[in-house]
Amino acid sequence: MASLVLAPVAMAQPLTAEEQTRVTRLIQAYPDFLARLDGKELVWKDGTRMPLTHNATRSYSARLDQPGLLDQLELPYPACQSLNTPSFTFDPGRTRYEPLFFKMYGASAREVRSHLEPVNWFGQTVQVTGVNGAAASLRAVANEVAQHPELLRYVHPSAGTFLWRKVAGTPRQSVHSFGAAIDLNTAYSDYWLWRGFKEGQPGIRYRNRLPLALVQIFERHGWIWGGRWYHYDTMHFEYRPELTSAATCGVSAP
- Pick the stretch among 33-41, 186-194, 195-203, 236-244 that binds Zn ion (CB under 5 A): 236-244
Nearest to 231 by CA among 97, 96, 94, 65: 94
How many residues line the site for Zn ion (CB under 5 A)? 3
Residue 71 or residue 183: which is nearer to Zn ion going by CB?
A: 183
Site track for Zn ion across 173-212, x = CB under 5 A:
--------x-x-----------------------------
Q: Which of 94, 115, 236, 240 binds Zn ion (CB under 5 A)?
A: 236
**3-class DSSP state for residue 31?**
coil
Residue 70 or residue 181: which is nearer to Zn ion going by CB?
A: 181
Residue 86 or residue 254: which is nearer to Zn ion going by CB?
A: 86
| Position closest to Zn ion via CB | 236
Sequence-distant (≥ 6) Cβ neighbours of residue 117 within 8 angstroms: 127, 128, 129, 130, 135
Residue 63 or residue 236: which is nearer to Zn ion going by CB?
A: 236
CB of 8 to Zn ion, least distance (A): 43
Residue 194's CB is within 10 A of a number of other CB atoms, namely 11
CB of 219 to Zn ion, least distance (A): 16
On whether the CB atoms of residues 156 and 122 are closer than 8 A, the answer is yes
CB of 68 to Zn ion, least distance (A): 24
Cα–Cα distance measured from residue 206 to residue 192, given in angstroms and rounded to the nearest whole number: 8
State the SS3 of 95-150: CCCHHHHHHHHCCCHHHHHCCEEEEEECCEEEEEECHHHHHHHHHHHHHHHCCCHH
Cα–Cα distance measured from residue 207 to residue 192, given in angstroms and rounded to the nearest whole number: 8
CB of 175 to Zn ion, least distance (A): 7
Residue 41 or residue 199: which is nearer to Zn ion going by CB?
A: 199
**Site residues for Zn ion per CB under 5 A:** 181, 183, 236
